Chain A
Amino acid sequence: MKAMAGRILALVKKEFLALVKDRKSRTVLVAPPLIQLIIFGYAATYDLNRIPYAVFNEDRGAASRELVSHFQGSQNFRLIKRIDHEGEIAPLINNRETLVVLHIGPHFSRHLLQGETGEVQLIVDGRNSNTAAIVSGYVREITTRFSDRWMQDHGYPAVPARLQIRAWYNTNLESQWFIVPGIVGLLTLVVTMLVTALSVAREREAGTFDQLLVTPLRPVEILLGKALPGFIIGFIEATLIILVAVTWFQVPLRGSLPALYVGLFLFLLSSIGVGLMISSIAVTQQQGLLGAFLFLVPAIILSGFATPIANMPQAVQILTLANPMRYFMVILRGVFLEGDSMALLWPQYWPMAVIGVIALTLAGILFRRRMY
């Protein structure tokens, strides 16, 4: 037992040296994930600022001026141009100079003063339909605020019911609070997969794998020696990223750290299992990297990182059950924002453990078969 531990330790040490002794691979492991966290943390948001818009106001009255001033007062909008005739709308939108054109008809103020409904036309560039939907939501918010004010000032009858909307966990609805914990999982997965998926193939290409085989190391020990470095690197990397998320991005960490780390442990277990599986099949590093990729991309897309799983078709939702990242996303956001405890996260823990055990067993079998 002791001899086995010693052998594995020696292999782990060698693996680490192989990764760290080369300046380029060292840099590639540490710096990029942190830089990416910062850049993506700011870039990956659905909140819109500085939406370029134009106003086509045919009305000369005070009401339309007040409506436009509501837009000018908003942080989210940036006035690009005031236009005077309809023909100017198309080029502005087509050339992407503005995302939105607000068209106020000639009788807007008169209708409002007579207690009738004034019409405002909203033209949105739909090339990115998600952005278009968000923009039209913002515009609706502003016109509703204007309407409410107008109804109050001009003695409209009271509305029978009004909604009081409050958001839980994220009162100001900041996208960053949703995205940054997600990036913790994303980058941890990318780094551990790359470290483990290429590890065996690299030795096969360099010819040192045959040398490993003639040592007293047993297949299981080689596998463990390959798994541990990925585990340690993933652990350190994730801790660093969590630190940056809390200190730099100030995302609240409301739940218990042990609950988060149990999740991280199981997540690393399952992703290393998959990584080693790919590693034992791949003959060349290129195949290893491609295999890692063929797993990474669907795993990220089907994890709920950027788009909700609930919106996916039923068949795809079932497919996501095999994706370890899906569970870790729930744990990350649950612990960070909802303050989840370990007990509440059981339904997320055990599937990752199952995936991890299956993947590691398969990796062992494949590895053995490839060796002899």
Chain B
Amino acid sequence: MNGKQGKIRLPSLTRLRGLMRKEIWQIVRDPSSIAIAFVMPLVLLLLFGYGVSLDAKDVPVALVVDRPSALTASFTGGFAQSEYFAPRHFDNISQAEDAMLRGEVDALVWLRGNFEELVRSGETAAVGVFVNGVDANNARLISGYIEGVWSRWLERYAAERGMDLSRPVELEQRIWFNPGMRSRDYLVPGIIAVIMTLIGALLTSLVVAREWERGTMEALLVTPVRIGEILLGKLIPYFILGMGGLIFSVAMGVWLFQVPLRGSLLVLLGTSSLFLLAALGMGLLISTVARNQFVAGQTAIIATFLPAFILSGFIFDIASMPTPIRGLTHALAARYYVSILQTVFLAGDVTSVILWNTAALVAMAAFFLLMVRRRTRKRLD
């Protein structure tokens, strides 16, 4: 340290331009950087936009009717009409159970021999329903669909006979922001957070670790270039690359996948650049600590990419996680960004949501960038 410590020194534009030019050439010449910024988002968006869905349809269901009649046909007919089921008829229960064991059907509906007798005599017939519970979420959905078929049959049955079978409580459901419950509308905004993490943290951590590994970082440190300039020279090109990736993803989401963007583009761009700064800071920090591409890559995946997927609230609900893990999610920039993205896309500019989460992003970006600045300077001494 010298005596000029208190004086703020502006970065030299010439040196900064030189550093940035080198960085940009590196990006342009290595196709893998461009691939992370544009091919990866394309792959992810296509996968989530077209490939993945939690809405079950054409569920293979086994139907077993011990004593077929017009009454049982009216019940099982509901499955053929429903868009959710692809029913298959079996002659007896053991054949149907075998099909369940082999995984050919996901559910089994069994009308026992006394079904008609009990219904006609005004008693309650029990319909056996077995669901493959391995995928618990799917099993719940499927039982919900089966209940739907059952209650529609009840209504029809009552209406035909002029009976009043109305239940005491009728639930009227309104899903705000996404009344059609299209899973694409929440998956696409969420995946943008994953993409930005990828460009911001993974790419930069590799690039800077490579400089340490090859010794070119040490070479840079002995030139008149200052640390702040080196860091800015890294930050600016990758920031531009990241924002390019963002605009590309948003354009695809809005035009190709028809996800509504109800909030303002300005809020989206502003918060995204904050998140990108935090991610870049993390990437730089990882690389300066690791100084080795293998370790940096592994750490970036483990500390940024996978949490952005699983702990950010993108797919799994944060409020339902156990308390220690919920506490942990507060240390993740992706958590705040996902909340902003889902709100800006589907609900609009909701001030309180955006304000709080933006404040958190500012804090995280500042924290990581300051940490990088400190770690890098320490190594100089």
Contacts and interface: CB of A to CB of B under 8 A. Distances in A.
B32 A132 contact: no
Interface of A: 22, 24-25, 28-29, 32, 36, 39-40, 42-52, 67, 93-96, 99, 112, 116-134, 136-137, 139-140, 143, 146-147, 150-151, 154, 156-171, 173-175, 177-178, 190, 194, 198, 202, 205, 284-287, 289-291, 293-294, 297-298, 301-302, 306-308, 310-313, 316, 330, 333-334, 337-338, 344
B321 A42 contact: yes
A93 B172 contact: no
Interface in B96-136: 100-103, 106, 115, 118-119, 122-136
A287 B32 contact: yes
Contacts of B240: none
Nearest to B51: A316
A130 B223 CA distance: 55
Contacts of B144: 137, 140
B126 A298 contact: no
Interface of B: 30, 32-33, 35-36, 39-40, 43-44, 47-48, 50-59, 75, 100-103, 106, 115, 118-119, 122-141, 143-144, 146-147, 150, 153-154, 157, 163-179, 181-183, 185-186, 202, 206-207, 210, 213-214, 290, 292-295, 297-299, 301-302, 306, 310-311, 313, 315-317, 319-322, 325, 328, 339, 342-343, 346-347, 350, 352-353
Given A150-B168, A284-B32, A136 B175 contact: yes
Contacts of B35: 290, 294
28 contacts: A22-B295, A25-B298, A32-B302, A39-B328, A43-B311, A44-B310, A112-B169, A117-B169, A118-B169, A122-B172, A124-B174, A124-B175, A128-B342, A129-B178, A161-B153, A162-B124, A163-B127, A163-B150, A164-B126, A168-B100, A168-B132, A169-B134, A170-B134, A177-B136, A178-B134, A286-B32, A287-B30, A344-B102
Given A157-B165, A297-B43, A307-B53, A45 B316 contact: yes
Contact of B177 (A125, A312, A344): A125
Nearest to B292: A24
Given A67-B169, A95-B350, A124-B173, A173 B136 contact: yes
A166 B134 contact: no
A161 B138 contact: no
A117 B176 contact: no
Contacts of A164: 126-129
B168 A202 contact: no
Contacts, number: 334
Contact of B176 (A124, A150, A175): A124
Contact of B136 (A94, A139, A175): A175
A202 B123 CA distance: 75
B133 A202 contact: no
Q: Most chain-B CB neighbours within 10 Å: which of A117, A123, A143, A311?
A: A311
Given A132-B175, A160-B157, A178 B306 contact: no
B52 A307 contact: yes
A151 B124 CA distance: 14
A175 B137 contact: yes
Given A157-B165, A164-B129, A294-B43, A126 B178 contact: yes
Given A32-B298, A117-B168, 8 more contacts: A121-B174, A122-B173, A127-B186, A133-B181, A164-B129, A170-B134, A284-B210, A289-B297
